[in-house]
Amino acid sequence: MQLAWTQVDSREPQFHSFIITREDGSRTYGFALTFFEEVTSKQICSAMQTLYHMHNAEQYDILHTPTSPQGLEDQRLPQSRPVLHAAPAISRLQRFNSYDISRDTLFVSKCICLITPMAFAQACRKVLEQLHQAVTSPQPPPLPLESYIYNILYEVPLPPSGRSLKFSGVYGPIVCQRPSTSELPLFDFAISEMFNLLGVENVLQLFTCALLELQILLYSQRKSLSSTVTFCAFTQPLSLESHGIAGRCGTG
């Protein structure tokens, strides 16, 4: 797990979604926007550099630990020289996995999140992105930031079935629509993105595994991609009820 970032890492805000499923099968939907802020505290920067040096020293010791043959058969053989694992030099470890307080700028990740009873993904994404823009913009928003947070939490109602709702964000209006009971259920994700990520053959294989009620593990280095595929594949976009399908997401 990466706990800190420097100026060489990608620092674009990342949006992803998730589901909280209770024992009774009810669901709560979450939408999160992760962004990065520069660390200005000298104490934190100094502590992070110390941790990186300790980590590199530990990795160097592990990679260069001598190993000797083990077992009864090996004891009969002449004693051989200790074997060293091939490993990069400590200078190379420090260059590719280190933080230099005199050269690098340290960033820390932060997250803002919305928990909703329905999966209004696009509306929640616009709300979070506009809040993030208000925080990072050199110009303050038209109203205090707290007023927009209070509005979305306490004054924006859940749209009735078959109706649309339009409310004001920080910089522009946001619209969400709730299908009626005679329409397909709410699905606010782009299925085309799943096909672009996996390809047609992999998508067919994924649905085959789902219909066969096999356990499925999705792995991605970006949470936004794995959550998109999970929602598209397992949130019943065609109003098909499925039980016993286990889908898990992994990020690295």
Q: Within 10 A of 190 (CB to CB), how many other CB atoms are there?
A: 14
Regions of the chain short of the pLDDT cut 50: 1-2, 72-74, 77, 83-96, 237-252
Residue 156 exposed, middle or buried by CB count within 10 Å (0-12, 13-18, 19+): middle
> Tell me, what DSSP letter sits at residue 150?
H
The whole-number pLDDT of residue 114 equals 93
Look at the pTM and tell me if it is higher than 0.85.
Answer: no
Do residues 207 and 233 lie in contact, with contact meaning Cβ atoms separated by under 8 Å? yes
- 161 closest CA partner among 138, 139, 136, 186: 186
Do residues 210 and 245 lie in contact, with contact meaning Cβ atoms separated by under 8 Å? yes
> What one-character-per-residue DSSP string does 36-83 give?
EEE---HHHHHHHHHHHHHHHHHHHHHHT--B---SHHHHHSPPPPPB
Q: Which residues lie across from 20 on neighbouring strands?
A: 28
Take residue 170 and report the two structure tokens written for it. 């920080």
Instruction: Classify 125 in phi/psi space as left (phi over 0), alpha (psi -120 to 50) or beta.
Output: alpha
Rounded distance between C-alpha atoms, residue 217 and residue 208, angstroms = 14
Rounded distance between C-alpha atoms, residue 249 and residue 218, angstroms = 5
Do residues 120 and 177 lie in contact, with contact meaning Cβ atoms separated by under 8 Å? no
The whole-number pLDDT of residue 86 equals 46
The whole-number pLDDT of residue 62 equals 63
Q: What type of residue sits at position 106?
A: L
Q: What type of residue sits at position 175?
A: V
CA-CA-CA-CA dihedral for 203, 208, 210, 211, to nearest 10: 140
The whole-number pLDDT of residue 96 equals 47
The whole-number pLDDT of residue 78 equals 52
Take residue 190 and report the two structure tokens written for it. 């782009």
φ and ψ at residue 191, rounded to 5 degrees: -65, -30
